[in-house]
Amino acid sequence: MTSNGESKLTDDIKALIGVEGEEHEVTVWGVEREGLRRFTQAVMDPDPRHFDEKFAKSTKFGETTTPGIYVTYLNRTHPREDDPVTRAFKENPVSDGIGGVRTSSRPGALPDIPTDLVRVLNAGNEIEVYKYPSMGDRVFAKNKYHNITERVGRDGSHMLIITMETTYRNQDGTLLCITRSSSFRR
Partner 1 sequence: MPTQEELRNKEQTYYDDVEVGQDLPPYIIGPMTPTHLFRWSAAIENWHRIHYDQDFSIYHDGLPNILAQGSWKQSVMPQYLKDLCLPNGWAWKVQFQHRAMIVPGDTITVSAKVTNKYEKDGLGFVEVETGMTNQDGINTCPGNGTIVLPIKGGKEIPYPFVAPEE
List of residues contacting partner 1 (CB under 8 A): 38-39, 41-49, 52, 55, 59-61, 67-69, 72-73, 76-77, 84-85, 88, 94-98, 101, 119-131, 174-175, 180-181
CB atoms within 10 A of CB 81: 11
CA dist., res. 74 & res. 145, Å (int): 20
CA dist., res. 29 & res. 18, Å (int): 30
3-state secondary structure of 24: strand
Indicate the residue among 95 and 157 with the shorter CB distance to partner 1: 95
CA dist., res. 47 & res. 45, Å (int): 6
**Whole-number minimum distance, CB 42 to partner 1, in Å?**
4
**Whole-number minimum distance, CB 24 to partner 1, in Å?**
17
Residues of 25-38 as b/e, b for ≥16 C-beta within 10 angstroms? ebbeebbeeebbee
Indicate the residue among 90 and 119 with the shorter CB distance to partner 1: 119
Indicate the residue among 12 and 53 with the shorter CB distance to partner 1: 53
Indicate the residue among 19 and 85 with the shorter CB distance to partner 1: 85
Indicate the residue among 20 and 47 with the shorter CB distance to partner 1: 47
**Whole-number minimum distance, CB 37 to partner 1, in Å?**
10
**Whole-number minimum distance, CB 160 to partner 1, in Å?**
16
CA dist., res. 91 & res. 5, Å (int): 30
**Whole-number minimum distance, CB 62 to partner 1, in Å?**
8
Residues of 110-122 as b/e, b for ≥16 C-beta within 10 angstroms? beebebeeeeeee
